[in-house]
Chains A and B, each alone.
Chain A
Amino acid sequence: MRRPRRVKPLATIISAGLSKFGRREGVYARELFAEAALEAFHRVEKLDPGKDIKAAFIGQMSEAYEHQAHDAPIAASWAGLLPAPATRIENACASSGSALRCGIMAIKSGLYDIVLVGGVEKMTNQPTPEVTGILATASDYPFEQWNGMTFPGLFALMATVHMHDYGTTEEQMAAVAVKNHKNGALNPKAHMQKEVSLDEVMKSRMVAWPLKLYDCSLITDGASCLILTSPKLAKKLSDNYVHIIGSGQSQDTFCLHERDSLTTINAAKQAAQEAYKMADVKAKDIDVAEVHDCFTIAEIIACEDLGFCRPGQGGKFVESGASNIGGAIPINTSGGLKSKGHPVGATGTAQVHELFLQLTGQADRRQVADAEIALAHNLGGSGATGVVHILRGA
C-alpha cells in the first residue's frame, strides 16, 4: 500500500472547543462562544490565552437572528482576547471553514504565531418560518428567493436529478439520516442524541419533495473554536496536536440553475482536489471524514465529489455501511449537521473539532481505530462555496 508522503504542515491545531449544541434558551451567541473558548483553553495548560492569542477569525452567518452585527469583537471580548484583532468571516454555512483558512494564512505567513478561529450562531430566538427566511438570504434574492426557492428546495432540485440520472432512492437518502443519528446518539454535545429508524425518516412530513423533515439538518444554537499555531511552537505547547496538511476553497455560480451539472457540487470538488494535492494524499488515504450533510442528499453528493465512491454511487455507498463507524471510511462520526446540529456559522470549525478528537484519540465511544488522516468538507449556500481541509495526526 502506498504510504502518503509526509508533507510539511500548513499550521497545527493545538486545541479545540465546542459548546453544547442544541436549543440553548436564555444564552446569547457571545456566551456560547465563550463556552467553546473555555473548553479550548482548558486543553492547553501552557497557554495564557489573553496574552498568547494574537488574532481571531470568527465565522457567523447572519446578524438577523439576534439583531446583532459586528459580532467578532463581542465574541473576542467574551473570550477574554481583547485587544487582539478579531474579524468576522461570512460565507454562509461555510463561514467558519473560511475563518479557518484565514487563520491558516495568518500562521503560514508568519504574521501571528498563535490565533483562534471559530464560529457561532444563535438561531432559535426566531420562530422556524423566520429562520427559514434568514437562511434563504444565503441564496440568490432576485432569481431564487423571488421565484419561491427555499434552501431545502434547492437541495431537493439536486436530489430529483440524482434520483432520475442514477436511480438514487429516498430510502438511500434516509439511510444517511439513520447513520448520522446513530452517531449523534453517542455524542454528548449533539443536539439530538437520539437514533431514528428508516421508517421514521420515510414517514416524516414533507419539506420539499423528495426531502422530508428527517432529511434536513437541525436549527441549532452552538459555537466552536480551534487554536492554531506553527508546527514548531505546537510541540512546546501541547502533547495533543493535529497538523493541517491541506486546505482548499473554491467558488461556483451563485445560482443553482447556472451550473452545468446538478449532481455534483463543483466548488467542493475543486476545493478537495486542491487540498488533496497540497496534502499529497488521495481519497483512499482518508481514515475519517466530516462532510456537510445539511440535507441527506448533500452527504451522498459529497461522498462522490470527494472520491470516496464513484459518481452516482453515493446512495449505494451509504447503504452498504462503508461510511458507518467501523466501515471503510466513517463519515460524520459526530452525528453531522443532521444530528449534532447545524448552527451555521459554527459548523466548519465544529467539524474540525470532531476530527481533532478523532486524531488525538479522544472521541470516546465514537473513536475510529488508528485514525491518522482526516478530511473536513464544508459548503456555503447551495454550493457557491466549498471548503475542504485535510488533517494528519501527530
Chain B
Amino acid sequence: MSELPPPTIEEFYRQCADRKLMAVRCVRCKHIMVPPRAICPKCRSSRVEWVQLGTQGKLVTYTIVHVSPPQFKHMTPYAVGIVEMEEGVKLPSIIRTSRLESLKIGMELEVDFSPKSQETSWPHWPRYFFKETE
C-alpha cells in the first residue's frame, strides 16, 4: 500500500470484498482498533496506519440469537460473538457453525468472507464472519 487510503469504515469493508481483514494501528502508542478511525482513543494521536490482520482468532464470548431483526430471520437461530485476533484486536462477528452447542469460550476460529458482491458501500457492505478452524 503505497498510497494509504483514509482510516474509514467504508475502506474496512472495501478490503473485506478483497478477502482482507484490516485494522488501524496508532503509530505512537501501537493501540490497534476496529472500527478504524483517525484519532487514537487511547493517546489521541492522529497518526494511524492500516495493518492487515491474520486469519486466526479466539472466541471471547458468544450468544445464540433466537429473536432476530427481519434481515437475519432466514438464518435464525444463529451465533454471534466477539473474536480476539492474534494481534490483540477484537471484532464482533457472526460465528458460522453447524453445531451451535459446540461453541466454547476460548475456541479457535478462522475468518472467512461472503462471496464477492457488487455492493461495497453503506448500507450494504460485504461481510466477514468466523468459523471453526478446519
Interface on A for B, CB 8 Å cutoff?
Answer: 129, 132-133, 136, 140-150, 152-153, 156-161, 164, 205-211, 253, 255-258, 262
**Complex contact B64–A206 (CB within 8 A):** yes
CA distance A29 to B28 in the complex (A): 50
Shortest CB-to-CB span from A331 to chain B, Å, is 25
Q: Which of A207, A211, A257 contacts B92 (CB 8 A)?
A: A257
CA distance A159 to B62 in the complex (A): 9
**Complex contact A129–B60 (CB within 8 A):** no
**Complex contact A208–B63 (CB within 8 A):** yes
A-B contact sample (14 more), CB < 8 A, given A145-B69, A208-B63: A143-B91, A144-B92, A146-B125, A147-B93, A148-B65, A148-B68, A156-B63, A161-B61, A205-B66, A207-B67, A208-B67, A209-B63, A209-B64, A262-B82
**Complex contact B92–A150 (CB within 8 A):** no
Inter-chain contacts of A262 with B (CB < 8 A) = 60-61, 82
Shortest CB-to-CB span from B10 to chain A, Å, is 9
Question: Taking the complex as formed, is B41 at the interface, i.e. its CB lies under 8 A from any CB of chain A?
Answer: yes
**Complex contact A157–B62 (CB within 8 A):** yes
Shortest CB-to-CB span from B37 to chain A, Å, is 11
Interface on B for A, CB 8 Å cutoff?
Answer: 9, 13, 33-35, 41, 60-70, 72, 77-78, 80-82, 90-94, 105, 122-123, 125, 127, 129
Interface centre among B68, B70, B92 (most CB of A within 10 A): B92
**Complex contact A129–B69 (CB within 8 A):** yes
**Complex contact A133–B66 (CB within 8 A):** no
Residue of A nearest to B63 (CB): A156
Q: Which of B60, B64, B91, B125 contacts A208 (CB 8 A)?
A: B64
Residue of A nearest to B125 (CB): A146
Smallest CB-CB A-B distances: 9 pairs: A156-B63, A209-B64, A257-B90, A206-B66, A257-B82, A160-B61, A157-B61, A161-B61, A208-B63
Task: Report if A150-B35 is in contact (Cβ < 8 Å); known contacts: A143-B91, A156-B63, A157-B61.
Answer: no
CA distance A205 to B64 in the complex (A): 13
Inter-chain contacts of B78 with A (CB < 8 A) = 148
**Complex contact B69–A136 (CB within 8 A):** yes
**Complex contact A129–B33 (CB within 8 A):** no
